[in-house]
Structure formats: C-alpha cells, structure tokens
Structure 1
Amino acid sequence: MKVLVTGAAGFIGYHVCERLLARGDTIIGVDNLDTSGDVTLKATRLSRLKAAPNFGFHRMDIRDVKACRELFDGAKPERVVHLAARVGVRALPSEAPDYAETNVSGFLQVLELCRLAKVEHLVFASSSSVYGAGTPVPFAESSPADHPLSLYAATKRADELMAHVYSHQYGLPVTGLRLFTVYGPWGRPDMAPMLFLRAMLEGRSIVLNGEGRMQRDFTYVDDVVEALVRLLDKPPAGAPPYRVLNVGRGTPVTMARFVDLLEEQLGTKAWVELRSAQPGELPVTCADVTALERETGFRPSVPLEEGLARLVAWYRGTEG
C-alpha cells in the first residue's frame, strides 16, 4: 500500500510511519519542520525514518497549493493519514491566523486533493478538545461538540464538519480520530509527560493548573497507532462513508496523581507549583471507546503506570 503521511516528523506521525514501514507499506512523508515544535527532535525522528528504503520525504507546507498538487499528481497515494497541524489549546491571539490557515485551510486542501486523486481512505487527527464545555463524562461521539473552549478545538471541529461534507457530496471515505492526551517515547516536549519528566530530572519546578485536580485520559502512543492502522485498513462503509471515533483509554487520572506516578518511576520528588485552571482547558477528559471497539475489535489497554515506565526507560536510554 502507498500511504501519504502529513506531519511525518511529528510525534504521532513518526510512530505511524514506523508501523506502516515495518509491515512493508511505501510511505510518502510530508512535513514542513516548522519551528513551533522541537526542530532537533523532529530532525532525529526523520533521520530514523529515512533509513527505511520504502520511505520518501518531502519538506513542504500543506498550505502550499502548487507543491501539494504536484506531490499528489506524482506520488498517487492510495491512502492518506493527515496529522500535520498547529497544536495546543493555549494559542496566543497573534498565532490565531496560523492556526486557521494550517488547521482549516490546509486541511481543506488535503480534502480536495484526496477527492481529485480518488484516495481510498483519508484518516485525520481530530482532538478530544472538540467536546468543549458541559459534555457528559465519559465523552461519547454522539454528544454535541458545539461549544469549544479554545481556537485549536474550534479548528479541529471545523475539520470534522468539512470532512463530512466531502464524504457526503463526493463519497470520499474519511475517518476522524478524536485523540485523548497521547504520550510516549519521542513525545512532544511541550506536553505534560515530557515537560514534567525533564523538569523533575533537572530539579526544576513544575506547574499544575487547576490545583492538580484536572483529570486527563492519558493514551499511550502504541495504542493510538494500533487503532489508527486498524481503521486505515477498514474504510467506513456507510452512506456517507464517514465516521469520527474516540481513541483514548477511558480511565482519566488527576494531574496530581500523574505526578505521583512519575515520581515513582523517576525515583525523585517533584517541586510543584499549583495554579488555577487556564482558559481553554477542560476540567476532565474521558473517552467512551465503545464505537472504536465495535469497529476494530480493539481498545487502548496500556496502563498509565506501564506507559510511564516505557517513557522513562526510553528517555534515560536516549539522554544518557
């Protein structure tokens, strides 16, 4: 299978590419290597992927209409995994145009190119943040998602709605994944697992918003990749051929408990600064994965304790 993966040098994109390469797929990786994340980490992930003979890389921005059209015309991907995005719920006002251009306009271009190329299946990353205020716990896909608390959440909800239109009008098979706090080796340095881990090992303080009482549904990256690949191989068969599914563990923990578990794994004490919750942050996230299990026969299963142990072992192995 020939699969185009956008955001290939990103955290989840890297793991998805590794999995697809290992089973023999040909991967067309796309990433603009923007500076909104850790550029060195992206370069290291990318260098590992480039070692595979069936991996080809194109440095480009998904907003570049000409370059993307030429790539689709030349590569002729059979399936597309779209993970490129501006991420984070705390976008500054000055960053708003970039979020809208990348996450909305960029995704619209991906949809259009998939339509023109008659792609067999497009899988894209949405977010648990689309559920917004007042959603009953656990979050079910049938719950309304029309009160986002952040610009990022609003862009991801817009992506879901645009994808539905393309599926309905043009018969494009599309699956959106509402991801719940993904963590693991090669993870994003701006997210709590890596951010806290590094700070604790370096003797720096960490900040817990919401006085540590906020709850998050941490999902190990291998579970996310397993769900994504199973779904990629099984395009939706409905009319329209469209679905949005939660991918999470369904077992949220408080951030205070998360720090306790990280202390146990690292064998060190955290210096904690408690603050009030920030705008755009949900008090709790919790996935109902009934639909995912029904579609794939799989549900994320790696316990947080085990996932953190793997993360710490990886970090110590790579950082010395």
Structure 2
Amino acid sequence: MHVLLTGATGYLGSHLAHALVAGGVKVSILKRSTSCLTRLADIQHHLAMFDIDEKGIEAPFRSGGHIDAIIHAATSYGRNGENEFEVFKVNTQFPLDLLQTATCFNTETFFNTDTILHEYLNAYALSKQQFSQWGRIFAESTKIQFVNIRLEHIYGPGDDSSKFTTWMIRQCLNRASRIPLTKGEQMRDFIYIEDVVAAYMLMFKNLTGQKKVWQEVALGSGTPVKIRHFAETVKKLTNSDSELDFGAFPYRNNEIMSSSADISTLNAMGWASKWSLEAGLSKVIEMERIE
C-alpha cells in the first residue's frame, strides 16, 4: 500500500508517519521546502518527500507510483498571525486541489481530518467545514471514497505550546500564581495521541478502497469532561499551587458547550480508547518535566 500524507511535519501527522512506516506502508509526504523535519528525523530515510512549493502538487502522483490513499492531516489554526484568506488557502483551497488531483490519478480513498467546531466559530472552523462539504460532493459523484474524520480534542507529549492542553500543563508546572480561565462548564472529549493514531491505522486498514463513497467517523474517547475538571486534574497531577481563576474570561461567541464523539463506528471495527484522562495527562506531565 502507498499513502500520501499531508501535515507530516506537524504533531498528528508526524505520529501517523511513524505508525505507517512501522506498519510497512510506503509513505510519501507533501511539504514545503522550508518545513522543519525535526519530528521526522529518525524515519526521514523511509519517506519520499515532495516540496509542493518547488515541484507542485502532482509530483508524488507522477514520480512516486500509484497512491492508494491520502491521509490529510495538514491544517492552519490561524494562531500564528495568518489572515482569513491564508487560513482558507491551507484548509480549503489546498486540500481541494489535492482532492481533484487524486481523482485524476485514480487514488481510491481520501481520509480527511475534520473538526467538531461549529463553522461560525472562527475562520479555521469555517474553512475546515467547507472542505468537508466539497469532499462529500466529490464522493457522492463517485469520483473518490471520502472518509471524513471528525476529531475531538487531541493531546499528548510534545504537542504545540499554542494548544490549551499544553498551555494548561505548563502553567501549572511553572507554578503560575494565577491561571485565568472561563467558567469551565464546557464539556470536551479529550483523546490521547496514541489512541488517535491507533484509530487512524485501523480506518486505513479497514476502509481503504471500500465501495461506500462517503463516510463520516467521529474520533474521541467517548467520555467527555468539563474544562473545569480537566484544569483541576492537571493542577492535582502537577502538585501545583496555582490559582485557577474560573470565570476570568467570557465564553467565545458561538462557543460549543458540549462535544462528545459517538465512537460506535470505531468500536464496531474493534477500536477502543486505552488511555484514561489521568493516565494520558500523567504521561504528558512526565515528559514535560524531563524536557
């Protein structure tokens, strides 16, 4: 099997790259010539790498051999000063171009990493939702099988510092005197990185090349908790004396107050979450202390 992976230099993508290589899958990646390869250093020689800004989007299809499936994990959250159009180009325009190219080269399956956020929350959420809608159009016109993975709140060691989970842990470890938060009543489905990767690998194995042209799969632990509980658990596990100032921030406009994955589809494939919230957080905290 041959997979084209996007976002391979990022957090989720790099974990998927390692799992695919370990599973004996041929892996090509699309990246920029300026991308940092630190997360891929130990498997770099196993990857066929194509710089989209230099060789174009068709390069892996033309010179890498037939691609059976695409796993799309590249994304822009808009947290690094990108404007709305730049977020749109990464989250909608680029994958749509890739999807169109894949159909021209007879790729069987496109696995898309989608968000559970409401489309009107911000530019990131809107652009992700727009692409998933395009994917459904392509699938229903029988051009390609499209598996839309609605990913809940992923966390794990080495995640980006801009993520709430990492920020919260580091605030507590650094014993910040006060940590400003919302009231924390929102329910969130936190899922540990190893559980996420195991689910992707199972979907790749079971769903690639199936006749069902459109399928949406929810991916989370299936056990949501309040943000308040998450923050209090981090404080307890880090033995922090930081003040958790609940209510210091208002909720965002269009804030989702409850989100939880219906994992019945994944359960039917034989997948189940193996990491409890406390076990996952303990592992992240352990690795943060080492670093």
TM-score, L = length of structure 1: 0.82
Q: Confirm whether residue 243 of structure 1 aligns to residue 215 of structure 2.
A: yes
Q: What do residues 86-110 of structure 1 show as CA deviations (whole Å, max 9, x unaligned)? A: 126x797x71101111111111111
The total of aligned residue pairs comes to 287
Instruction: Tell me the CA shift for residue 7 of structure 1.
Output: 0.3
Could you say which residue in structure 1 is the equivalent of 2:272? 299
AA aligned to 1:96 is E
Q: What do residues 34-60 of structure 1 show as CA deviations (whole Å, max 9, x unaligned)? A: 7xxxx8xx542132332xx32233343
> What is the Cα-based RMSD across aligned positions, in Å?
2.4
Structure 1 residues 280 and 86 mapped into 2: Cα distance closer, same or farther (>3 Å)? farther
Q: Is the 8 A contact 1:173 1:235 kept in 2?
A: no
Could you say which residue in structure 1 is the equivalent of 2:41? 47
Q: What do residues 137-173 of structure 1 show as CA deviations (whole Å, max 9, x unaligned)? A: xxxxxxxxxx643222222221111111111224311
AA aligned to 1:82 is H
Could you say which residue in structure 2 is the equivalent of 1:279? 253
Could you say which residue in structure 2 is the equivalent of 1:102? 90
AA aligned to 1:69 is E
| Other structure's SS at 2:41 match | helix
Q: Is the 8 A contact 1:181 1:216 kept in 2?
A: yes
Q: What do residues 23-42 of structure 1 show as CA deviations (whole Å, max 9, x unaligned)? A: 111221223387xxxx8xx5
AA aligned to 1:194 is T
Q: Is the 8 A contact 1:259 1:270 kept in 2?
A: no
Instruction: Tell me the CA shift for residue 201 of structure 1.
Output: 1.9
Q: Confirm whether residue 228 of structure 1 aligns to residue 222 of structure 2.
A: no
1:63-82 → structure 2 map (5 Å cutoff): 67-76=56-65, 77-82=67-72
Could you say which residue in structure 2 is the equivalent of 1:111? 99
Structure 2, gaps ≥5 residues long: none
1:174-185 → structure 2 map (5 Å cutoff): 174-185=146-157
Q: What do residues 93-138 of structure 1 show as CA deviations (whole Å, max 9, x unaligned)? A: x711011111111111110111012112211100111xx3xxxxxx
Could you say which residue in structure 2 is the equivalent of 1:60? 52
1:254-269 → structure 2 map (5 Å cutoff): 254-269=226-241
Q: Is the 8 A contact 1:199 1:206 kept in 2?
A: yes
Once residues 21 and 240 of structure 1 are traced to their aligned partners in structure 2, the CA distance between those partners, rounded to angstroms, is 27
Identity across the alignment (%):
23
177-186 vs 194-203, which deviates more? 194-203
Once residues 256 and 270 of structure 1 are traced to their aligned partners in structure 2, the CA distance between those partners, rounded to angstroms, is 14
1:311 to 279, 284, 290: 284
Q: Is the 8 A contact 1:150 1:280 kept in 2?
A: no
Q: What do residues 41-87 of structure 1 show as CA deviations (whole Å, max 9, x unaligned)? A: x542132332xx322333435xx8x6111232111322211111112
AA aligned to 2:123 is L
241-250 vs 282-291, which deviates more? 282-291
Structure 1 residues 58 and 271 mapped into 2: Cα distance closer, same or farther (>3 Å)? farther
Instruction: Tell me the CA shift for residue 237 of structure 1.
Output: 7.1
AA aligned to 1:267 is N
Could you list the structure 1 runs, at least 4 aligned residues long, displaced by more than 4 angstroms after superposition.
Answer: 236-240
AA aligned to 1:56 is A
Instruction: Tell me the CA shift for residue 234 of structure 1.
Output: 2.2
Structure 1 residues 150 and 105 mapped into 2: Cα distance closer, same or farther (>3 Å)? same
Could you say which residue in structure 2 is the equivalent of 1:163? 135
AA aligned to 2:187 is Q
Q: What do residues 268-320 of structure 1 show as CA deviations (whole Å, max 9, x unaligned)? A: 223334211123531221111122323x2213242100110111122223x1x
Instruction: Tell me the CA shift for residue 9 of structure 1.
Output: 0.9
AA aligned to 1:55 is L
Once residues 169 and 33 of structure 2 are traced to their aligned partners in structure 1, the CA distance between those partners, rounded to angstroms, is 24
Q: Confirm whether residue 83 of structure 1 aligns to residue 73 of structure 2.
A: yes
1:5-20 → structure 2 map (5 Å cutoff): 5-20=5-20
Q: Is the 8 A contact 1:177 1:244 kept in 2?
A: yes
